[in-house]
Each structure stands twice: as structure tokens, then as C-alpha cells.
Amino acid sequence: MLRIHITGASGSGTSTLAAALAAVLGGVHLESDDYYWLPTSPPFTTKRDRSERLSLLLNDLRASNVAVLAGSVAEWGRDLEDCFDLIVFLCLDTPTRVARLQRRETERFGHVNPAFLEWAAQYDEGLLPGRSLARQRAWLGARSCPVIELRSDASVEELVTTVVQALPRKSLPDDSLR
């Protein structure tokens, strides 16, 4: 079984890399937001119970030989947080991230939530509750698996190649991928 977690600031490309990596490795791509938030309209307004989201995600991780999880699972529980074979931390400058988020939100929803953009833009400073650079670095430092940090302004293909090369050899489903 292979478990990879792709994390970073909103707009850094975690979902894009997770989907591409899962496709290359023949695994499933999971999104932490799908577990954290209940399905609502509009989306992302009601949090799922912590124990329920943890149980759902752990079950889905166990159901696949290869799983790549995008997003953040800090403070979800050690059973999850320390189950990964590799964590990839994506970094990208704030203006590029915010521009990506503006495009994505407009494509998905037809508009951009200003409060969400404000929260995402302050990630490096960590002025608001939730994910921040300092909190993510502290969380990464407490993990039991290898962590690699990548700049996500590289191409998706370059990022996938780098991640595959960083995987522990024993965890690869097919050594021909190296």
C-alpha cells in the first residue's frame, strides 16, 4: 500500500499534482475538502463532524493500494497524519496563488468569495485562523515519514517525476516508473 499526501497553501497546485500523480501510479486521488466539508449549496459552508471525516477518509485510504491525498489534514488525528509514505509540500508565491484561485473560483462558481481570497492571501503571514505557512511547517516537522518541499511553478510533469523519484523504492507498485 502506498499513501502520498500533497499539501500546501490554497492555490499552490495540490489537487492538480495529486490527480496527475494518482493517474501515473494507478491509484485514487482524494481531496481533504471532500471529507472536511458536508456537501452543501453553496459549498464549503458546513463542517463535517471530526470523527466522521476521519473515519470516512481512513476507510477510503484503506480501500486502495495507492492513494494520493490533496489538501490539509493537520489536527485530524495521528492515525491519519502519520499514515503516509511521503508528504509533498508545495510552495508558491502569493500573487500567483491568488491569481490561480481567482481563475478557479470563477470557472467553478461564476464568482469569487472575497473572504476566501483574503484568507488565502494571508497564508504566509498566518494572521487568520486555519492553514498558514508557520502552522504547516510545524505540522510537517512532526511527521514520521519523509517530507519533500517543491516549488509548484514547475510543470506538472516535472513535479510528478520528482515525487516518483522520491518515493521509497519498496512502496512503488511498479519499479518501471522510476
Q: What is the pLDDT of residue 171?
A: 58
**Per-residue confidence (pLDDT) for residue 174, from 0 to 100:** 57
pLDDT at 43: 85
- pLDDT score at 169: 74
pLDDT reported for residue 178: 46
- What average pLDDT does this structure show over 145-154? 96
Q: Count CB atoms within 10 A of the CB of residue 81.
A: 19
Residue 159 lies in a domain: yes
Which amino acid, 57?
Answer: L
In a domain, 126, yes or no: no
Whether 114 maps to a domain, the answer reads no
Distance CA(97)–CA(123), nearest Å, equals 10
pLDDT tens for 81-103 read: 999 999 999 999 999 999 999 99
The tens digit of pLDDT for each residue in 25-79 reads 999 999 999 999 999 988 889 999 999 999 999 999 999 999 999 999 999 999 9
Grid cell 449549496 is found at 41
| Within-domain flag for 118 | no
Cell numbers that stand for 84 in this block: 503516509
CATH value at residue 56: 3.40.50.300
Q: pLDDT band for position 170 (50/70/90)?
A: low
Q: What is the pLDDT of residue 168?
A: 83
Q: Which residues contact 77 (CB under 8 A, 6 or more apart)?
A: 50, 54
The predicted structure's pLDDT at residue 156: 97
Is residue 59 in a domain?
Answer: yes
Does some domain include residue 100?
no
Is there a domain that residue 113 lies in? no
pTM score of the predicted model: 0.92
Eight-class DSSP state of 11: T
Domain membership of residue 21 (yes or no) is yes
3-class DSSP assignment, residue 133: helix
Q: Is the pLDDT reported for residue 176 higher than 50?
A: no
104-135: buried (b, 16+ CB within 10 Å) or exposed (e) per residue? ebeeeeeebeeeebebbbebeeeeeeebbbeb
Cα–Cα distance measured from residue 98 to residue 120, given in angstroms and rounded to the nearest whole number: 7
Cis status, amide bond into 39, omega within 30 of 0? no
pLDDT at 127: 85
Question: Does residue 177 have a pLDDT over 70?
Answer: no
How many structural domains are present in the chain? Answer: 1
Give the residue numbers spanning the domain of 162: 2-93+131-168
Residue predicted with more confidence, 128 or 150: 150
